Amino acid sequence: MLIRSTPTKDRVGRIVELSKGIKIYTDIGEQNIMLLRLGFAGYPVNLNWSLSKLLAWRQGYQLREYLLTGKMIVRETDSMLVPSTI
């Protein structure tokens, strides 16, 4: 998964708050932001969700795993979740 912390010309998106003090730049639709947050918070998947909702949940879940394993860090200057340089 490619994670960008800032917008680029070819991507349209927005900054959303995953949890208190952690933000990310994403192009996930507004209707699925809640699922992104649920995945990041560690809530279990619901098999009745649509594919787009499941993908949003999975991205949030993966972001949480990356943060816990050190593959991503929270940048102190703006609270953005960014790839680790380690």
Task: Name residues whose C-beta falls within 8 Å of residue 67's C-beta, 6 or more positions apart in sequence.
Answer: 22, 73, 74, 81
Q: What pLDDT, on a 0 to 100 scale, did the predictor assign at position 10?
A: 56
Looking up tokens 């860090």 gives 73
Buried b or exposed e, range 15-33, using 16+ CB within 10 angstroms: eeebeeebbbbbebeeebb
Would you say 28 and 36 are in contact if contact means Cβ atoms under 8 Å apart?
A: yes
Domain segments of the chain as ranges:
1-6+30-86
User: What's the half-sphere exposure (Cβ side, CA atoms, 13 Å) at 86?
Assistant: 8
State pLDDT tens for residues 23-58. 999 999 999 999 999 999 999 999 999 999 999 999
